[in-house]
Structure 1
């Protein structure tokens, strides 16, 4: 992407802020999608060259990503991409189940007709989409991922706490990173839509215990598949071109 010259403002609303936000979203997508190698040093100069922005908005974007836990920071030595591990995945999954159980129970307790309609629509759209990319059956389809995120967001949207929804969103981002780095392989069978339908049916029936258990089972199954990839050494490797980030 090419950026034209602009006067930079310091009020957080001018071109500088826009550039930083653009770099933030592009780099964040690459981090979550596994396009950059974990534990690599992320040099400002490399990010400037790759994403087409100046050093100042790049540093702003890097600091923002570090505050979200997607990047680490060494004093006086710059940024690095946070590593992935089976231990981290286990803790992430456990914490996500804790928070989303509370969010889902609250959402069901305060459900409305509008919430029910949104959930039915989200499930319907998810069911009509293909989980895997037509070009590569071992890759997840980006459009399916968007619908998947929408379904899970709608589930907890009636919990009446934007703080709780925000924390759940952050954990979902980190979980997505793991799922992208551990693609499905042969011999692993699951009824993915059936899992989502079960969660929705319990939720729509007002059965909080059933919905929570179905949700936890769904997350734990996904985590177990990722764990197998770690054990088998099949965690996806990024493209060789990103090796420049280390230099």
Structure 2
């Protein structure tokens, strides 16, 4: 639950994580709570402060750019390997993952943005299936870790992204390139998809107020 709240932005960057509050909030004892916080620190979601306990990991424009760049590098290799080893099951599962995602509403409300947890689950499933056939559980694991860290940034700017993007069409064009066997186009579309998300977040001043100022320029 703590990990989920960190990723979804309910616990804000640099927020102090007071043990007494967390013990009450999550109905857990101090020992398992400390173990959880130390594990989350190893994942980069929490920072340990000497003599001052734990705080939510901060954010920075430079980190966002680095995470995005690294994800693009790794998922390019993973996607190319998946396409090179493409099986009928892998392709059918990818088409099914896209179909389910396309059917899910992005927002629970048509008038204002209300995040849809089911869309988020299906979105992650689609992107996971793109690289599922790469043949390396370690590569998939690294990609998943980067996806989590970037998900936290995306949640901080989700309302702006919702207004400015047609991600359904983006996902469909990626799928079509994969099904057509055009690896170069599929990789280009996927990396543009990730970079566009980063650019939206970098341009959202509400994310960076009180944080390190985002530098000008795009990915």
User: Contact 2:160 / 2:200 at 8 angstroms: preserved in 1?
Assistant: no
Q: Residue 200 of structure 2: which of 220, 225, 234 is its match? A: 225
Structure 2 unaligned blocks of 5 or more: 210-219
Mark the CA change 1:234 to 1:116 in structure 2 (over 3 Å): closer, same or farther.
same
Q: Residue 192 of structure 1: which of 141, 151, 167 is its match? A: 167
CA RMSD of superposed structures (Å):
1.9
Aligned pairs for 1:47-126 within 5 A: 47-126=22-101
Structure 2 distance, partners of 1:87, 1:148, is 25
- For these two proteins, the number of residue pairs brought into alignment is 209
Structure 1 unaligned blocks of 5 or more: 1-25, 238-247
| Residue matched to 1:235 | 207
Structure exhibiting the larger radius of gyration computed from Cα positions: 1
SS in 2 for 1:36: coil
SS in 2 for 1:234: helix
Deviation at 1:236, TM superposition (A): 9.2
Kindly provide the CA deviation profile for residues 137-160 of structure 1, in whole angstroms up to 9, marking residues without a partner as x. 334311111100000000000001
Instruction: Compute the TM-score of the two structures, normalised by the length of structure 2.
Output: 0.90
Structure 2 distance, partners of 1:166, 1:40, is 28
Structure 1 distance, partners of 2:21, 2:206, is 28
Structure 1 distance, partners of 2:71, 2:177, is 19
Structure 1 distance, partners of 2:57, 2:77, is 28
SS in 1 for 2:206: coil
Higher mean C-alpha displacement, 135-144 vs 66-75: 135-144
Structure 1 distance, partners of 2:52, 2:64, is 27
